[in-house]
Amino acid sequence: FEIEKGWPGNFKFKVLNFKLLWTQVGLALSTFTDPLDVLFVPSHTLPLIRKPGLKTVLTVHDLGAKYLPQYHQLKQRLYLSFITSQQLSSATKLIAVSQATKDDLHKQIGIPTAKISVIYEGINQDLKPIKNDILRDILRQYDLSANNYFLFIGTIQPRKNLERLIRAYGKLFTPQAPKLVLAGSKGWLSDEIYKLPAQLKIASAVKFLGYVPDQHLPALYSGATAFVFPSLFEGFGLPVLEAMACRCPVITSNLSSLPEVAGRGAILVDPYSVDDISQAMSKVMNPEFRMKLQEKGFKQVKRFSWEKTARETLQILTQVGRG
C-alpha cells in the first residue's frame, strides 16, 4: 500500500474493506484471522464478538454524554451508554487522556483505578506563531487584523458554552473593543447561538467564520487578542494547547480536564458565570498582562508532545502483551 512508504519494516498495514459496521464486522473478523497479541483501539469501541482471550487496550477521551446528556442526540446517548456500560468494563486496560477522565471512569462507571493509565494527548510540533506579511495576508481573507479580535475555535454547539461567551463579550463591547470571532462548523442545537448577537445588538462585532482549513488556524491563533474556550466539558481540550503553541493568550474553564491541560498558562474562569468570563476578557486586553500570559502558555505547551504520547502508549501495550 502507498501508506507503507517510509515506515519501518516491522510495521504492517491491512485495509479492512467494510464501509458499514467496520468495527463490529470487519475488525471483529480480523481478531480471529490475524495473529494478534493485543488489540489497541484509540477510541472506546471494541468489537462485541472477538477472539476469546484476546487482550485489549482502549483509549477513552471523555464521558461528556453522562455529564451533559441534554447536549447529545438520543441515538448518541444510547450508543455511548451501551459502550460505557459493556465495553469499558471488558477491556484489559484503559488509557484516559487526562486525570479528569480517569476520575470520571472510576466515579461514573466503577472502573478500578489500577486498570486505567493516564496518557496525555500531544501537540503538533509544526504549530508555531505566524508573523508579519503571512499573518496579515491570511487574516485579510477573513476581514480581520491582528490583536483586534477574541477567538473561539470549535464546533458551534451548546456544550461549548457559546451563548455565555457571546453574552460576556456583550458586557464589554464598545465600538473600539476587539471583535469576537467564532470559527467552526455548525453543530447540533446551534440556532439560538447564531441568533444571539443580533438580539444583544452586537451582530456587527461578532463574526461566524464557519469551517476554517487547518493551514489557516495558526494565523488565526497568532493574531488573536486571546483564545476564549469556556467549554462546559472536555476530555482533554487540544485547542488550548494549539493556541499556546502559537503564543496566543488563553482563557478557559476551571472544569473537567481543562485546568490540568492549561496549568498556569491560562486564565481559568467559571464557565457558568458570564461576569467571570467577561472580566477575564477585559483583563487580557492589557498589553503587559497579555504578554506575560503568552509566555506562561508557551512554557506550558512544551510539556506535551505526540512522541511522548507514543512512547507511553507503547509501554502500556508492551506491559499488556507480556502480562
CATH code of the domain containing 311: 3.40.50
pLDDT for 46 equals 87
pLDDT for 18 equals 85
- By the 8 A CB rule, do 38 and 55 touch? yes
Average pLDDT over residues 277-290: 97
pLDDT > 70 fraction of the chain, expressed in percent and rounded: 92
Residues 175 and 200 in one domain: yes
pLDDT > 90 fraction of the chain, expressed in percent and rounded: 76
Q: Dihedral angle at the C-alpha atoms of 139, 143, 147, 151, nearest 10 degrees?
A: -90
280: in domain? yes
Residues 283 and 180 in one domain: yes
Average pLDDT over residues 167-176: 96
Using 50, 70 and 90 to split pLDDT, how confident is the model at 307?
very high
pTM for the predicted model, two decimal places = 0.91
**What rounded mean pLDDT belongs to the chain?**
92
AA letter at 138 = I
90: in domain? yes
Place of cell 492549561: 262
Distance of CA 302 to the CA centre of its chain: 17
**Distances in whole angstroms, Cα of residue 315 to Cα of each of 8, 63, 88, 227, 318:** 18, 25, 20, 35, 5
- By the 8 A CB rule, do 230 and 273 touch? no
pLDDT for 45 equals 83
pLDDT for 12 equals 86
Average pLDDT over residues 89-94: 93
The answer to whether residue 177 scores a pLDDT higher than 70 is yes
Residues 241 and 93 in one domain: no
- 118 φ, ψ (degrees, to nearest 5): -95, 125
pLDDT for 14 equals 86
Residues 51 and 9 in one domain: yes
Residues 118 and 105 in one domain: yes
Residues 112 and 154 in one domain: no
Of 3-12, 39-48, 122-131, 244-253, the one with minimum mean pLDDT is 3-12
Residues 6+ apart with CB under 8 A from 69: 77
- By the 8 A CB rule, do 148 and 205 touch? no
AA letter at 202 = I
Of 13-27, 120-134, 163-177, 303-317, the one with minimum mean pLDDT is 13-27
pLDDT for 185 equals 95
102: in domain? yes
Residues 117 and 137 in one domain: no
CATH number of the domain encompassing residue 190: 3.40.50.2000
Average pLDDT over residues 93-111: 93
The answer to whether residue 300 scores a pLDDT higher than 80 is yes
Per the structure, the complete domain to which residue 11 belongs is given by 2-122+306-322
Residues 76 and 197 in one domain: no
Residues 27 and 63 in one domain: yes
Residues 13 and 41 in one domain: yes
Helix or strand run (H / E) with residue 99: helix 99-104
23: in domain? yes
The answer to whether residue 77 scores a pLDDT higher than 80 is no
What is the rounded CA–CA span in Å between residue 266 and residue 196? 27
168: in domain? yes
pLDDT for 188 equals 84
**Distances in whole angstroms, Cα of residue 42 to Cα of each of 36, 55, 79, 93, 178:** 16, 14, 17, 12, 39
The answer to whether residue 117 scores a pLDDT higher than 80 is yes
The answer to whether residue 70 scores a pLDDT higher than 80 is no
pLDDT for 62 equals 86
Domain count, the chain: 2
- 63 φ, ψ (degrees, to nearest 5): -120, 40
pLDDT for 82 equals 66
Place of cell 461566524: 208
The answer to whether residue 291 scores a pLDDT higher than 60 is yes
269: in domain? yes
194: in domain? yes
* Residue count of the chain: 323
Using 50, 70 and 90 to split pLDDT, how confident is the model at 130?
very high
Which grid cell is 241? 494547547
127: in domain? no
**Distances in whole angstroms, Cα of residue 172 to Cα of each of 102, 166, 178, 180:** 37, 10, 10, 11
pLDDT for 125 equals 83
Using 50, 70 and 90 to split pLDDT, how confident is the model at 65?
low
- By the 8 A CB rule, do 250 and 227 touch? yes
pLDDT for 72 equals 54
The answer to whether residue 180 scores a pLDDT higher than 70 is yes
Residues 6+ apart with CB under 8 A from 251: 226, 227, 228, 229, 230, 266, 267, 269, 277, 280, 281, 284
The count of C-alpha atoms lying within 13 angstroms of the C-alpha of 45, restricted to the half-sphere facing its C-beta, is: 10
Residues 313 and 297 in one domain: no
Residues 6+ apart with CB under 8 A from 173: 202, 205
Which grid cell is 233? 466539558
* pLDDT tens, residue by residue, 140-161: 999 999 999 999 999 999 999 9
Residues 101 and 198 in one domain: no
Which grid cell is 53? 482471550
What is the rounded CA–CA span in Å between residue 268 and residue 293? 12
- By the 8 A CB rule, do 31 and 14 touch? no
